[in-house]
């Protein structure tokens, strides 16, 4: 009985040991980007146009991927030996002869800003999303921060979502709209440089800033 | 029986010991692989930090040497060259600083100082370029900057000896409250004897540009109930099911904030100024790409709505359709001159024909009665300034906003070339080409760059 107990204990220790070692290895290896994929309306229209030309789609070219579009995508994927999931990812785009890359610098800036908005404020009301984008742009204009959108977003310790890799998520249309609205000059915070969630903020310093406005869960401060 | 039992337990022990040994070997192998990976990543990251820190020190050292040269130089051409180089060095220093693993609240003063030196020296170089000379105040500011840079340089050179052995990465990880050890070290650099002088100028990053004065908000302060009533009057063509007061914003503009819910249960967020209850910002999330209204109809909707909001002297000067929305820029036009600094931006939802976005802060910041002097060069003279590779399509007079809150009367010429459309701005008094904007088509609509 005692020996059995020893064996059980040893096996238990072994299991914990193995689990720990696997966990440690995983924690040391950098995680890959999250494989969520979304297209802009213009790209959706290009997909619909291409599917229509190829005879898979008979609906309107409206940029909205509804049931008719999804069926067309699935049929196309089946015929071209792709994974049949109804989602237009990089492989399906490539098979359709469409490119995912954009050449314009400003378009890359909007993409990055939209990624930041999505990662930081995807559960927030629309104005809160515009406000987050506006804070990034206010920092670009401010002397106390880097002078480019990528400089501000990738500044070490500036955004939690950059530190934990959520910035790699693909933004939705709402985040793109918010980024574009902010670039168009809409700033619901009127010049704020900081924001935080009072329920989760760990920084003591941030509480010393003057709060200008609260939108959704975020307090925006000067 | 006893011997058989003993043999069985021995086998079990051997099996357990073997499994344990294999697991131990596997763990050691996996651990060493992962440690190697971690070590490599740490070294890579530390190398990036070291490079930025070393470049920062180089840029500060170079800026200080060049500042001292400017202070003793009597030759404007040489001073201009040095000031331009200092501006480049300090721009790079700011980039280096912001790439280091420092808490953003730790050294924002230092980044601000370095950025402002970049803006200040660039402004002085531009002044010399126009044939003007530096004033005695500017020379004494440059001397104070030189002294501040000597202190900054000495402190940074001390610190570089401390972090030479590749431990910026280690010092960046151990957080103590908001700060890590590296931030505290850099803060000590600033807290030493470095006193940053004040720079007064109208150039990039100057405080006067950032804190732009609002010129058109001299109205009586009203209560939030009066503001709400005024808002409901503006939204009289919108089906308002609910109007909820959210709170105040006390930023550059002071506003009462409301959330409107329309009959379709869509939320619209609105900010109304406390002074005069003027509609400043309105925005609604909108994902519908249907287009039931034309751009022409959207322009009229935008102008009518802007009139309801109390701004009646504007025309549509720019429009773009992205997805299911029309983006329209409206500007006042006085005596045939488009007043671009006073833009009102409106977004119309082409599915419903409702205004989904409105922004009038530029209008209230800049719109005043101006005495614009008549142009001293003619339209044909201005058109001669256009490069022959461009074909002029239209020419208009416009008050153009320039850098650092300046504005000047220009001839705005829309031109085309094989690769697209350009807007060229020629100063209507001097004939100098002030700016060229190009329309860049992107997935997210047309942009003026």
Interface of B with A in 155-194 (CB under 8 A): 172, 177-178
> Would you say residue B202 has pLDDT above 80?
no
Q: What is the pLDDT of residue A81?
A: 74
Count CB atoms within 10 A of the CB of residue B110: 21
The answer to whether B275 and B224 are in contact (CB under 8 A) is no
Mind listing the pLDDT tens digit for each residue in A177-189?
Answer: 899 888 877 888 8
User: DSSP state, A143?
Assistant: T
Entry pTM: 0.73
Cα–Cα distance for residue pair B123/B110, rounded to 1 Å: 20
Strand partners, B334: B337
Q: What is the pLDDT of residue A37?
A: 39
Is the minimum CB–CB distance between A181 and chain B shorter than 8 Å?
yes
Mind listing the pLDDT tens digit for each residue in B99-112?
Answer: 888 877 777 888 88
Q: For the range B71-75, what are the long-range contacts, defined as Cβ-Cβ under 8 Å and sequence gap of 24 or more? A: B71/B139, B71/B142, B71/B143, B71/B146
The answer to whether B180 and A163 are in contact (CB under 8 A) is no
Mind listing the pLDDT tens digit for each residue in B39-98?
Answer: 888 888 888 888 898 999 999 999 999 999 998 887 888 999 999 999 999 999 999 988
Query: In which band, very low, low, confident or very high, does the pLDDT at B309 lie, cut at 50, 70 and 90?
Result: very high
Q: What domains appear along chain A, each with residue ranges and CATH number?
A: 41-95 (1.10.101.10), 105-221 (1.10.10.2520)
Is the minimum CB–CB distance between A186 and chain B shorter than 8 Å?
yes
Interface of A with B in 28-47 (CB under 8 A): 28-30, 40-43
Beta-sheet pairing, B179-180 with A218-221: unpaired
E strand residue ranges, B211-362? 240-250, 254-262, 267-273, 279-284, 314-322, 325-334, 337-339, 344-349, 354-359
Q: Residue A191 and residue B252: Cβ atoms within 8 Å? A: yes
**Least confident interval from A45-54, A112-121, B312-321, B400-409:** A45-54
Partner-chain residue, chosen from B178, B252, B283, that has the shortest CB–CB distance to A190: B252
Query: In which band, very low, low, confident or very high, does the pLDDT at A31 lie, cut at 50, 70 and 90?
Result: very low
Which backbone phi and psi does B330 adopt, to 5 degrees?
-110, 140
Cα angle B77-B79-B85, degrees, rounded to a multiple of 5 = 110
Cα–Cα distance for residue pair A177/B368, rounded to 1 Å: 32
Q: Which residue has the tokens 């150039």?
A: B203
Q: What is the pLDDT of residue B193?
A: 61
> Would you say residue A27 has pLDDT above 50?
no
Query: In which band, very low, low, confident or very high, does the pLDDT at A33 lie, cut at 50, 70 and 90?
Result: very low
Q: Residue A7 and residue B362: Cβ atoms within 8 Å? A: no
Q: What is the pLDDT of residue A5?
A: 66
DSSP letter for each residue of B130-174 = TT----HHHHHHHHHHHHHHHHHHHHHHHHHHHSTTT-HHHHHH-
Mind listing the pLDDT tens digit for each residue in B183-201?
Answer: 777 777 765 566 777 777 7
**Tokens standing for residue B243:** 């109007």
**Tokens standing for residue A147:** 């002078």
**Which residue in B283, B3, B370 sits closest to A180, CA to CA?**
B283
Query: For B239-246, what is the mean pLDDT?
Result: 86
Cα–Cα distance for residue pair B12/B23, rounded to 1 Å: 16
**Which residue in B437, B387, B434, B439 sits closest to B411, CA to CA?**
B434
Query: For A110-128, what is the mean pLDDT?
Result: 92
More confident residue, A163 or A40: A163
Q: Residue B178 and residue A204: Cβ atoms within 8 Å? A: yes
Burial class (CB in 10 A: 0-12, 13-18, 19+), B390: middle
> Would you say residue A127 has pLDDT above 80?
yes
Cα–Cα distance for residue pair B32/B10, rounded to 1 Å: 32
Cα–Cα distance for residue pair B359/B114, rounded to 1 Å: 33
Cα–Cα distance for residue pair B35/B391, rounded to 1 Å: 64
Q: Residue B443 and residue A42: Cβ atoms within 8 Å? A: yes
Cα-only R_g, chain A = 23
Cβ partners under 8 Å of residue B321, min gap 6: B291, B295, B327, B350, B445
Looking at mean pLDDT, say which of A88-97, A126-135, B34-43 comes out highest.
A126-135
Task: Spell out which residues of chain B touch residue A143, defining contact as CB-CB under 8 Å.
Answer: 111-112, 115-116, 119, 205, 210
> Would you say residue B303 has pLDDT above 90?
yes
3-state secondary structure of A34: coil
Mind listing the pLDDT tens digit for each residue in B244-289?
Answer: 898 888 878 899 999 888 887 788 889 999 999 999 988 886 656 7
Q: What is the pLDDT of residue B82?
A: 94
Query: In which band, very low, low, confident or very high, does the pLDDT at A90 lie, cut at 50, 70 and 90?
Result: low
**Tokens standing for residue A149:** 């959108």
> Would you say residue A139 has pLDDT above 90?
yes
Partner-chain residue, chosen from B38, B95, B105, that has the shortest CB–CB distance to A28: B38
Question: Quick one: what percent of chain A has pLDDT higher than 70?
Answer: 73
Q: What is the mean pLDDT of chain B?
A: 85
Cα–Cα distance for residue pair B65/B146, rounded to 1 Å: 8
More confident residue, A74 or A106: A74
**Tokens standing for residue B322:** 């992205």
Query: In angstroms, what CA-CA distances link A167 with A111, A122, B110?
Result: 11, 11, 27
Query: In which band, very low, low, confident or very high, does the pLDDT at A46 lie, cut at 50, 70 and 90?
Result: confident
Query: In which band, very low, low, confident or very high, does the pLDDT at A76 lie, cut at 50, 70 and 90?
Result: confident
Task: Spell out which residues of chain B touch residue A206, defining contact as CB-CB under 8 Å.
Answer: 105
Is the minimum CB–CB distance between A143 and chain B shorter than 8 Å?
yes
Is the minimum CB–CB distance between A177 and chain B shorter than 8 Å?
yes
């Amino acid at each position: 009985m005692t020996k059995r107990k020893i064996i059980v204990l040893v096996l238990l220790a072994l299991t914990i040991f193995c689990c720990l070692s696997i966990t440690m290895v995983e924690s040391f290896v950098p995680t890959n980007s999250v494989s969520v994929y979304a297209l802009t309306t213009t790209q959706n229209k290009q997909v619909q146009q291409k599917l229509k030309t190829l005879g898979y789609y008979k609906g309107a070219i409206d940029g909205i991927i509804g049931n008719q579009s999804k069926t067309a995508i699935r049929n196309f994927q089946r015929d071209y030996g792709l994974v049949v999931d109804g989602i237009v990812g990089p492989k399906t785009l490539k098979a359709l002869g469409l490119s995912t890359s954009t050449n314009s610098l400003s378009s890359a800036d909007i993409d990055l800003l939209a990624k930041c908005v999505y990662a930081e404020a995807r559960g927030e009301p629309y104005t809160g999303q515009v406000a987050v984008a506006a804070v990034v742009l206010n920092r670009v204009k401010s002397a106390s921060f880097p002078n480019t959108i990528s400089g501000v977003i990738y500044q070490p310790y500036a955004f939690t979502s950059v530190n934990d890799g959520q910035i790699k998520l693909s933004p939705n249309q709402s985040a793109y709209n918010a980024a574009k609205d902010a670039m168009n000059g809409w700033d619901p915070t009127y010049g704020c440089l900081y924001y935080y969630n009072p329920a989760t903020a760990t920084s003591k310093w941030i509480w010393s800033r003057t709060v200008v406005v609260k939108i959704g869960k975020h307090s925006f401060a000067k | 029986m006893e011997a058989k039992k003993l043999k069985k337990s021995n086998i079990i022990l051997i099996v357990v010991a073997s499994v344990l040994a294999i697991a131990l070997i596997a763990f050691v192998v996996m651990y060493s692989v992962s440690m190697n990976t971690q070590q490599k990543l740490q070294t890579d990251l530390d190398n990036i930090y070291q490079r930025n820190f070393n470049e920062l020190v180089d840029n500060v050292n170079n800026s200080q040497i060049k500042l001292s040269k400017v202070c003793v130089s009597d030759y404007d051409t040489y001073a201009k060259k040095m000031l331009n180089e200092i501006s480049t060095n300090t721009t790079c220093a700011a980039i280096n600083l912001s790439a280091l693993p420092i808490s953003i609240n730790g050294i924002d003063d230092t980044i601000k100082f370095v950025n402002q030196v970049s803006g200040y020296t660039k402004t002085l170089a531009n002044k010399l370029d126009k044939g003007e000379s530096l004033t005695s105040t500017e020379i004494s500011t440059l001397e104070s900057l030189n002294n501040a840079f000597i202190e900054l340089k000495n402190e940074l050179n001390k610190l570089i000896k401390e972090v030479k052995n590749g431990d910026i990465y280690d010092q960046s990880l151990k957080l103590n409250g908001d700060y890590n050890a590296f931030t505290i070290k850099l803060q000590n650099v600033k807290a030493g004897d470095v006193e940053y002088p004040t720079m007064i100028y109208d150039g990039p990053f100057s405080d006067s540009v950032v804190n732009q004065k609002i010129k058109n908000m001299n109205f009586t302060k009203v209560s939030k109930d009066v503001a709400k009533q005024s808002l409901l009057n503006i939204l009289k063509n919108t089906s308002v099911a609910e109007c909820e007061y959210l709170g105040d914003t006390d930023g550059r503009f002071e506003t009462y904030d409301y959330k409107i819910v329309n009959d379709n249960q869509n939320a619209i967020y609105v900010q109304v100024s406390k002074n005069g209850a003027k509609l400043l910002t309105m925005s609604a999330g909108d994902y519908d790409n249907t287009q039931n209204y034309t751009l022409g109809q959207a322009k009229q909707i935008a102008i009518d709505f802007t009139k309801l909001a109390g701004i009646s002297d504007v025309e549509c000067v720019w429009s773009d359709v992205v997805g299911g929305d029309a983006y329209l820029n409206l500007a006042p036009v006085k005596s045939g001159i488009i007043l671009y600094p006073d833009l009102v931006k409106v977004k119309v939802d082409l599915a419903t024909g409702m205004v989904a976005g409105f922004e009038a802060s530029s209008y209230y910041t800049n719109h005043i009665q101006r005495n614009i002097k008549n142009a001293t060069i003619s339209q044909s003279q201005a058109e001669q300034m256009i490069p022959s590779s461009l074909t002029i399509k239209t020419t208009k007079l416009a008050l153009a906003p320039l850098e650092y809150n300046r504005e000047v009367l220009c001839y705005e010429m829309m031109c085309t070339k094989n690769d697209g459309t350009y807007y060229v701005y020629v100063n209507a008094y001097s004939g100098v080409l002030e700016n060229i904007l190009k329309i860049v088509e992107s997935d997210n609509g047309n942009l003026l760059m």
